Amino acid sequence: MGYYFISIGGSGAKIMESLTHLCVAGLLPRREKLYVMAIDPDTGNGNLNRSSAALKSFETFQNFAVGKETPLFKNKIELADPFPWNPTEHDKTLDDIMLYQTMQPDVKTLYEVLYTRAERNTFLNEGFRGHPSIGAAVMAKKIPLDNWKDEESEPWNRFFELVKQDKDGATAKIFLAGSVFGGTGAAGMPTISRLLHSKFSTYDRVAIGGALVLPYFSFATPTQEQTDGQIYASSENFLTNTKAALKYYALKDNVYDSMYFIGDDIMSPVKNFSVGALTQMNDAHMVDFYGALAAIDFYQTDLRNMKKCSYINHNDDNSFKWNDFPTLENIDGEPFHIKEQFTQFTRFIFAYLHLVKPVLSGLASGEIKDYKYPWFIDYLKGIDVDSRDIQSFEKYAESFVLWLKQIETNNRDVRLIKQNSFDVEYGFKISPDHFSTCAYDEDSGISIHELWYRLTERKCADEENTRGFGRFLRTLYDCCAID
């Protein structure tokens, strides 16, 4: 069995970010490889860059020997190459892609009726600007639904080969994520799912799922200076676009084996309007979290039990609590609740940033001596504490806390991890006073002092299969479990 995830556009990239953190925490159902592809003409998109950074950090964790029988880092991942994949190339307009100058006169006339001059002549480097009609034309042109020639393009060639390898022995589960109201996602979700369905129509064990994101944010109408006279996405059109998209999915014979519709009836205001590129970096949202959980639910569901359409809801309109989340499956296929594993992983990240990172920084600079830290002598003596692997993990840990902070402070009352237990504004400080009670409705009984004791006295649970920095991380993670 293989897990495949394809993010399409900005909303898909944000779900990809949440899925990355849940995957690092070991919340995917089994030890299958996760193949990740990102599709976006706006390759400089800030949200996509943030998601990509977390994924590329995760790639380095595959080198950490943390041993067996632990959910930590249990899934191997492979990123598509190129990552992301850009269907428009660089400095191209719709006219360039559709070969306007070579069109027959009658086709050219129809084309000019369907698209305004601004839509035809805007460079697509920063995406489809909330105009799905542009994206639909580009996707149809650049992703041929018939007579696909594998050798002509990557990352599709590698993707198809991996699915072909899977289909003979187990189910290949392909999950797409994108919005139904924007540009890239609204154009790509139906087009790409149709392509995949056509490509694998003769395969018995290939399933296609999708998180179809409904509107959940809005922004004020931008000024002429902000848009520089270019076309742009308008939140005023989101509901109209959504209505048209849902009608399409309701009436057409769509190709998804399972669909998850996720949105919010309270629109979160976007702080800073952006046409695209690096400045488009919207905060993580609970919708993204649920989108990642939808992917996990799809991966753990047997083909015979898949539901055509799933609606995401929760108990209280105004808050999110632990009991609002679905049951997942562990490595053995047994049900468990997300809270236990997620909170242990959160304590593990908090412990690293509060307890370990300052020590490693002090040792690297020569400001402190290693004999004061028995756990360093036992696990990390002789290891380059300024290595790329360690720096990568530290950056990832900070990105997790930043993502968590954004999830906790969106427009709803989110009660998962207490906000007073950490602060991202001043160097990712973790409060030692709140360490044992950082999760709502839980007192782990593990204080920073208790954790120091455990780390000093406890031996690694899997000495044979662990080594180096991975051995230390495995021990630290185990020490964060409630006995």
Task: Report pLDDT digits (tens) over 391-434.
Answer: 999 999 999 999 999 998 876 789 999 988 988 877 788 889 99
Q: In the numeric block, which tokens belong to residue 129?
A: 């600007």
Encoded amino acid at 399, one letter: S
Q: Which of 303, 340, 324, 290 is nearest to 174 (CA)?
A: 303
DSSP letter, residue 318 = T
Nearest CA-CA partner of 125 in 93, 96, 100, 153: 93
CA–CA separation, 292 and 28 (whole Å): 10
Q: Nearest-CA neighbor of 88 among 15, 19, 36, 39?
A: 39
Q: Write out pLDDT tens, residues 178-229.
A: 988 877 888 888 888 888 888 888 887 899 999 998 888 665 555 445 445 4
Domain with CATH 3.40.50.1440 in the chain: 2-88+124-313
User: What does the alpha-carbon distance between residue 223 and residue 438 come to, in Å, rounded to a whole number?
Assistant: 42
| pLDDT reported for residue 22 | 96
**CA–CA gap between residue 383 and residue 381 (Å, rounded):** 6
Considering the entire predicted model, what is its pTM? 0.87
- Which tokens sit at 52? 């990509």
**Neighbouring C-alpha atoms within 13 Å toward the C-beta of 442:** 24
pLDDT of residue 237: 63
* Cα dihedral 86, 92, 98, 103 in deg (nearest 10): -160
Each of the 483 residues of the chain gets a pLDDT tens digit; together they read 689 999 998 899 999 999 999 999 999 988 889 999 999 887 666 678 888 888 988 988 888 999 988 999 999 999 998 888 888 777 788 888 888 888 898 988 888 888 888 888 877 766 676 676 777 677 777 665 554 455 457 788 888 888 888 755 678 999 999 988 877 888 888 888 888 888 888 887 899 999 998 888 665 555 445 445 454 455 566 677 777 767 777 777 678 899 999 888 777 766 654 444 444 568 899 999 999 999 999 998 887 778 777 777 777 777 899 988 878 877 677 788 899 999 999 999 999 999 999 999 998 888 888 888 999 999 999 888 888 889 999 999 999 999 999 998 876 789 999 988 988 877 788 889 999 999 998 999 999 999 999 999 988 888 888 999 999 999 999 999 998
Residues β-bridged to residue 179? 213
C-alpha 317/C-alpha 265 separation (Å) is 9
The interaxial angle of helices 338-351 and 468-479, nearest 10 deg, is: 120
Which backbone phi and psi does 91 adopt, to 5 degrees? Answer: 55, 45
- Residue 483 makes CB contacts below 8 A (sequence gap 6+) with 445
Q: What is the pLDDT of residue 277?
A: 42
The DSSP code sequence of 262-300 is E--SSPEEPSS--SSGGG--PPP-HHHHHHHHHHHHHHH
- The reported pLDDT for the residue numbered 265 is 79
Whole-angstrom distance, CA of residue 209 vs CA of residue 467: 38
Question: Tell me: the pLDDT tens digits for 454-478?
Answer: 999 988 888 888 999 999 999 999 9
pLDDT single digits (tens) 436-448: 999 998 999 999 9
Closest CA to 408 of 387, 439, 386: 439
Q: Domain 2-88+124-313 maps to which CATH number in 3.40.50.1440, 3.30.360.10, 3.65.10.10, 3.30.930.10?
A: 3.40.50.1440
Find all residues with CB under 8 Å of 368, minimum gap 6, and list them: 359, 362
Instruction: Give, to the nearest 10 degrees, the angle between helix 468-479 and helix 448-457.
Output: 130
Retrieve residue 61's tokens. Answer: 């964790």
Cα–Cα distance list, 241 to 80, 185, 246, 330, 354 (Å) = 30, 12, 9, 38, 46
